[in-house]
Every structure is written in structure tokens, then in C-alpha cells.
Amino acid sequence: MTRARSITGTHVYSYVKCPHLAALDLSLPRSERRPGHEWEEFAKQRGRDFEAQFVAALGVQAPAYPERDFAAGAAATLALLRAGTPYVHQAVLVGDDRLGLPDLLRKIDGASDLGDFHYEVLDVKTSGRMRGDQVLQVVFYAQLLAQVQGRLPSHGGIVLKDGREERFRIADYTAACDEVLADLRRLRDDPARSRPFLQGGCSSCHYDHRCLPELTARGDLSLVAGMSRGARAILEGVGCRTVDDLAAFHPEGPRARGHLDTAVIRRLRRGAEALRAGAPLVEARPKSPNERLGQGALVHVLTDPYAERALAIGVLHPATADGRFAVALPAEQDDEWPAFERLIGELPARAPLLHFGPTLPRWVEGRAYAHEADPAVEARFVDLQKRLTGAAVYPRAVFDLPDLVRFGLGRDPLRAGHHGAAGLWAQQADGSERLRAKLHTDLLDLAELKARILDAAMPVAEAAAPAAAMAPAAKPPA
């Protein structure tokens, strides 16, 4: 009989992102994962470098053991803990069917089976703020540590990329961790309990090459724009199982529609119709008399979130394919704000600044106080992400700009590269050209989305007529 695979802290971390991801990790060999993209490998290496740099300053000790011999690793770890080593790096903690490899164990006061001291868990992350998945991973390690030292540490900590330590009470999260662990065991014993659900994280998941074709072949309801897990379960429960079923779904009465709201059914059915048509359905919407998008300029920024840098800032004005493109590639952080002010200063004083998503406002917000920014500039921001997702139903669930470009325009959103690679390009000889090309391509895509989706809105009177409620946008080229 083969031995059940150990549940690790990584499974806990993955489960929070997607239970199916944890189920696949527990049941498939690593060779089934797709190879990492170059920017993903770059980010991982940065994480390893940051951890190595952080622990080097602490004078840590690590257990020595033959590769993958975790029993030997656990014994070597116990020896270090009994000796009262101040910091243990990459300890091995083993318990029943669990295996934990925490980044750091730190010695603190308070009696335990080890002596008049015990240990707590620290994990080193490259994120700027603490997240729930990171907390649960530390709690998982703390529970294993409790078996070794005979007491549960009261607190755990996450070291963030600026070296700050965020602390939290272990007891506040043990029930949640126990629940996750119980479900992980069920998934390990019966992987068929889970199945994919299309979500924003799929595009960066090492199983996207498996799940996306599977969802498409099955006509899975999660492909439909606006679908939630709960709505999928309810619809399947009333016999509406595929995109084709949903496109023809006209239930009679609340029971037949699983008591879902009729407005929800109508919206989801439109998503299924768009998916079958292969083109976005533009929603009729009244134009506000104050709407001045036509006078706006597109503003876009490529960032390196880890380094908290704006690597390329670009403007397209007017916001059309033949608008004037201007770009700045600030070499240093101190150059970023003057470059932004110069670009904005070249635009008409009251032109709306059309941007996509939270990246630009967050970047400005982080610098506005230090640079005594004119609040009138932020007041001119118009988020196209909200406008574009509200103005049409797309032929698949869309989560970010690449999705909108692919499913709104039928263009390859990565033809000038992936925005996540900006930090990598900045270190390469041809980085300036790649950043410039990517920024210009994104701006042209935004201009085209604006033209096809937002400028296709009908006048108020027409929009009010029910028959004119939807208009298909031009079908994207295959």
C-alpha cells in the first residue's frame, strides 16, 4: 500500500488560493506542473535572495540532513532546539501526516519540554502586507512545533519585504487552520471531490494548462462572466450544467431557478450568450451630460511592486490609436514624480486622466503627500477598468487588462510581453525598449477598448427602450 502524501505548509497556502490547486498538488507529481515563466522564476529568486539576506544578519543555524530524508531532518532540528539555538533556519517539523519547513524558528522566554525557553515561528515573505494565507501557514507550523516543544507558541510572525515583522495570536486562527487541514485530508483521500473554477489567479497558476482546457471542453459555468461558486452550485442543482444550458435557461418560478434572483439569472444568461457568440455584448447605458471621456488622455504605468518602483509612465492623448504617445522611463525612484508631473503638465489642464485599475492611483497616493501633489490631478482620474467591466458582458469571465484585451478585442495581450516581467526587463540591456513597447501596446489596447466598448454607448432615449438593451460589439478577429 502506498503511503499517503504528507500535507505541508505549501498545501495550506495553496488551498486558500484554490482548493483544486491544493488537491492537484497532493495527487500529481511535480512533473505535471507547467514550467515557470521567466518572470515567475525571477520573482521566486528574489524571494530566495531576500530570505537569505534577512537570515544572514541573524546568525541562524540550519539542520543538516541527507536530501529529502525528513526523519533525519526532524532529528537534526530537535538537536538544535534542545541546544537552545537562537534562530533555526528551515527547520524540519514532522507530525502524523504533516510536514512543515518553516523559514525561521526563534527562541523566546517561557518554559517548555526543551528547557526554560521555547520557540515561535516566523515566515519571511516578499509582500508588502500580511495576508490570510500566510497567517494560516504559520499557524500550521506552530501546531507542529507544539508537538516538539510541548507548548503552542502564543504568537507567530510574518517578516515583510521592508523587514517589518507583523505579529498575530496563533489561537485566533487555529480553528480555521484545523478546518483547512481536515478538508486537505479529504481532498488527498479523494481528489475527485474538487474541480476547477475559473478565477483571477488561474493565469498565474502552474496548472492553468490543465484546468482551462478542461473547463472549456466541459462548457463549465465558471467561464461565464459574473459567475460565483455559489451560483454555479445552485444552477447545477436545478439541471443547468453548461454554458449552452445557461444560454437557453428560462426557468418558470423561483424553485426552477434555485431561488436565484431573476436579475442575476438574466445577467448570467447574457454572459453565456456572449460566450457562445464569441464577442462582447455592449450594454446600452445613458451617457452622463458631464461625461468628457472623449477629451481625456490615457495614462498608464508599469511598475515593479517588489521594488516599489514606477519603471515606465506613459500618456496617449487624445485617447485614440493615433493619439500622441509620450513616455518617461525614470532611472531612479527620485526621478519618478518629476517625470509624472512633466507628462501630466503637457496635457490640457482639465483633461480627464483615464487609467486602468488601482495601480496608478495607488502609486500617486503613496507619493502625493511627500511631493505636495495638487489634489486636482487625482480628482481627474477615471478608472476604465470599472467602466469597461460595467459597459459590456464579455465572452468569458474577465479579471484584468490581459483578459479584456483577449476577450474584448480578440488580440494577444502578451504580444509585447507580460506586465509582470517589467522588473526583470529593467535589469536587462534591452529593458528600455521592452518597457516602452509594452507601455505603448497597453495604451493602444486601452484606446481600442474605449472606442469599441465605451464609445459604443447609445443615447439616453434609445438606451431606455428594452429592445435596444444589448448590442453586440464587432466580433473580435479569431
Q: Which is nearer to ligand SF4, 211 or 329 (CB)?
A: 211
Residue 283 in grid coordinates: 450594454
Q: Is 440 exposed, middle or buried (0-12, 13-18, 19+ CB in 10 A)?
A: middle
Count of residues that interact with ligand SF4, criterion CB under 6 A: 13
Residue 195 beta carbon to ligand SF4: minimum distance, rounded to whole angstroms: 8
Instruction: Determine the interface stretch with ligand SF4 among 198-206, 339-347, 386-394, 407-415 (rule: CB under 6 A).
Output: 198-206
Three-state SS at 378: helix
Q: Which is nearer to ligand SF4, 107 or 195 (CB)?
A: 195
Tell me whether strands 324-328 and 309-317 are parallel, antiparallel or unpaired.
antiparallel
Q: What is the footprint of ligand SF4 within residues 206-225 (CB under 6 A)?
A: 207-208, 211
Do 382 and 288 meet the contact criterion of CB atoms below 8 Å apart?
Answer: no
Residue 205 beta carbon to ligand SF4: minimum distance, rounded to whole angstroms: 3
In degrees and rounded to multiples of 5, residue 400 shows phi and psi of: -150, -175
Tell me whether strands 353-355 and 297-304 are parallel, antiparallel or unpaired.
parallel
Residue 207 beta carbon to ligand SF4: minimum distance, rounded to whole angstroms: 4
The residue from 7, 12, 21, 473 that contacts ligand SF4 (CB under 6 A) is 21
Q: What is the footprint of ligand SF4 within residues 347-376 (CB under 6 A)?
A: none
Instruction: Determine the interface stretch with ligand SF4 among 16-24, 40-48, 161-169, 428-436 (rule: CB under 6 A).
Output: 16-24
Interaction between residue 119 and ligand SF4 (CB under 6 A): no
Instruction: Determine the interface stretch with ligand SF4 among 158-166, 203-211, 252-260, 295-303 (rule: CB under 6 A).
Output: 203-211
Q: Which is nearer to ligand SF4, 153 or 402 (CB)?
A: 402
Count CB atoms within 10 A of the CB of residue 266: 12
Interaction between residue 18 and ligand SF4 (CB under 6 A): yes
Mark 346-380 as b/e (b = at least 16 C-beta within 10 Å): ebeeebbbbbbeebbeebbeeebeeeebeeeeeeb
- Alpha carbon distance 223, 233 (integer Å): 14
Interaction between residue 232 and ligand SF4 (CB under 6 A): no
Interaction between residue 183 and ligand SF4 (CB under 6 A): no
The residue from 130, 158, 202, 246 that contacts ligand SF4 (CB under 6 A) is 202
Residue 356 Cα distances to 122, 124, 344, 404, angstroms: 36, 31, 16, 11
The residue from 70, 141, 173, 197 that contacts ligand SF4 (CB under 6 A) is 197
Gyration radius of the chain over CA positions: 26
Sign (positive or negative) of CA dihedral 7, 9, 12, 14: negative
Do 293 and 351 meet the contact criterion of CB atoms below 8 Å apart?
Answer: no
Residue 412 beta carbon to ligand SF4: minimum distance, rounded to whole angstroms: 20
Interaction between residue 88 and ligand SF4 (CB under 6 A): no
Residue 26 beta carbon to ligand SF4: minimum distance, rounded to whole angstroms: 12
Residue 201 beta carbon to ligand SF4: minimum distance, rounded to whole angstroms: 5
The residue from 205, 240, 246, 302 that contacts ligand SF4 (CB under 6 A) is 205
Beta bridge partners of 302: 312
Interaction between residue 20 and ligand SF4 (CB under 6 A): yes
Interaction between residue 24 and ligand SF4 (CB under 6 A): yes
DSSP assignment of 244-284, as one string?
A: HHHHT----HHHHTTT--HHHHHHHHHHHHHHHHTSPEEEP
Residue 110 in grid coordinates: 517561557
Q: Which is nearer to ligand SF4, 208 or 448 (CB)?
A: 208
Beta bridge partners of 119: 107
The residue from 100, 196, 280, 402 that contacts ligand SF4 (CB under 6 A) is 196
Interaction between residue 13 and ligand SF4 (CB under 6 A): no
- Alpha carbon distance 123, 135 (integer Å): 9
Residue 133 beta carbon to ligand SF4: minimum distance, rounded to whole angstroms: 13
Binding site for ligand SF4 (CB under 6 A): 18, 20-21, 24, 196-197, 199, 201-202, 205, 207-208, 211
